[in-house]
Structure 1
Amino acid sequence: MLAKKKTQNRYGQRVTRVDAPTLEEAIAAAQGLTDDVEGQIEIASQLMGMPEDEVRPVALKLSARSAQPERLPIADRVLARGEASKVVVVERRRPRIVAR
């Protein structure tokens, strides 16, 4: 826990807890930025201010655990479930012009 911030409002006193980010959170942020594991290690080490040698084992463990199948586009997911493809027809209506 890094600090607590106390504020007063009309409902009473509120206490907000501020925690320092963890290494796992930094690696998750790096995974959102790049798919390259070495790039993730570099980004996470810079975010945390730690050497890459300390970040590498944790990043490799998390990247192996979070290997998820790639998401399919919505149209492929619908067809993969066995549903028939749906046809959508879009017609454009011209605006009504009022003659004066």
Structure 2
Amino acid sequence: MLAKKKPSETQNRRVTRVDPPALEEAIAAAQGLTEDVESQVEIAAQLMGMPEDEVRPEVMRAAVPTPVRRPVRLADRFSMGERNEGPKVVVVERKRPRLVIPR
């Protein structure tokens, strides 16, 4: 029988690379979190690690006046096309974890 090789130290070491987001990504993330432009400036600046004064012009340029939002109804989100087949039935089953019984 062959002996198992031990992995070397370099194979076990995991390296995590952390890069700050691009300015456009930070602005998009800030816009997704809040509609307030000043809050977007603050969030984007914190994500980038930059002063707010440098980020503000880009956020203001990217700010688009949003139309008045109407509440989204559940039926609008999950509407199905017209069909003559009747209502669609969806069955959701939960798979239970496999139990291992020790012997």
TM normalised by structure 2 equals 0.48
Structure with more relative contact order (C-alpha pairs < 8 Å, separation 6 or more): 2
More strand, by proportion: 1
